[in-house]
Amino acid sequence: MIDAVSSSRFITREKSDILIRKLSGFASKYDAEKLVRHIYTAERLKSANAGIYYIVDCITDSINEEKKVQFQYSDYTAEKVKVLRHDGELYVVSPYALIWDDNHYYMVGYYDKREDINVFRVDRINGLEISDERAVLAPASFNIDDFAQQVFNMFTGEKQEVILECHNDLMKSVIDQFGEDVVTWKITADTFRTKAYVCTSQTFYSWVFQFAGKMKLISPGPVVEEYKKMLEKALMHMSI
């Protein structure tokens, strides 16, 4: 249980320390000392947004009360500076569910502006408030389990270091996938590179492909070649 608390990026470092100390109270004095030392040796990504707990509670309340929520949404610049998206524009959403995936909470709901169901990462939500306006109910055909399987994919395969070259507007996607501590460096005024450990698989290659050329695999060579073969195979099937 302590490992789960310590490794969770959703729980802040301060909250992790408090929870681990409380859990340690159920152990003997000797074991508790060993467990508490675990706090300082866990080098993992941690969320810096303590307000997430409040936001999750508000979203849960809005779902139960069938009310809309409004909030501002954060983005990242090429320098990894957190800024409000669309100059602080208010997002109005009818929440349907909260999903926990890869150490992050996501809110699934109907986004008024796009008139469609969208996904929002909770740790990028700012100033969320519950509206008095009634929520737009989910369509009868909407199934949260099916939706989650389509949207959230776990990367499986051999894990190795890769270098990606990305357009600046993909910094948000890179940080979402690899965390704020991911290594990045500037290449041109419009592009940057990042180094990360990933599980190379068709799911990972599909993730790269979805950015329509704005993200390129640079190295290692065998991974680049495998990605090229996958693309060539897809093109071959299209020409049949």
Q: Looking at residue 197, which CATH number applies to its domain? A: 3.30.70.240
Band (pLDDT 50/70/90 cuts) for residue 41 is: very low
Same-domain status, 57 and 95? yes
Is the residue at 47 inside a domain?
A: no
Residue 237 confidence class, pLDDT cut points 50, 70, 90: confident
- The residue among 105, 125, 151 that closes a domain is 151
Residues 58 and 87 occupy one common structural domain: yes
Residue 193 belongs to a domain:
yes
Per mean pLDDT, which of 27-36, 39-48, 193-202, 217-226 is the most reliable? 217-226
Residue 64 resides in a domain: yes
Q: Does some domain include residue 46?
A: no
Domain end marker among 151, 171, 200: 151
DSSP track, 48-88: --TTHHHHHHHHHHHHHHTEEEEEEEEEE-TT--EEEGGGG
Model confidence band, residue 101 (pLDDT cutoffs 50, 70, 90): confident
- Tokens representing residue 201 in the block: 């698989």
Q: What is the mean pLDDT of residues 111-115?
A: 93
pLDDT at 25 over 70: no
18/62 same-domain check: no
Q: Which of 96, 119, 151 is the last residue of a domain?
A: 151
The pTM score is 0.60
Distances (CA, A) of 38 to 21, 26, 50: 10, 15, 21
For residue 122, give its domain range. Answer: 52-151
**What's the structural domain count of the chain?**
3
Residue 76 forms part of a structural domain: yes
Q: Specify the pLDDT at position 63.
A: 94
- Cα distances (Å, whole numbers) of residue 17 to 3, 33, 62: 12, 13, 30
Whether residue 141 sits in one domain with residue 81: yes
Q: Is the pLDDT of residue 157 over 80?
A: no
- pLDDT band at 15, cuts 50/70/90? low
85 and 69 in one domain?
yes
Least confident of 18-22, 61-65, 91-95, 216-220: 18-22
In angstroms, the CA 168 to CA 214 distance is 9
Q: How far is CA 85 from the centre of its chain?
A: 16
**82 and 20 share one domain:** no
Specify whether 186 is located in the same domain as 221. yes
In the prediction, which pLDDT does 34 show? Answer: 41
Residue pair 112/46 in contact (Cβ under 8 Å)? The answer is no
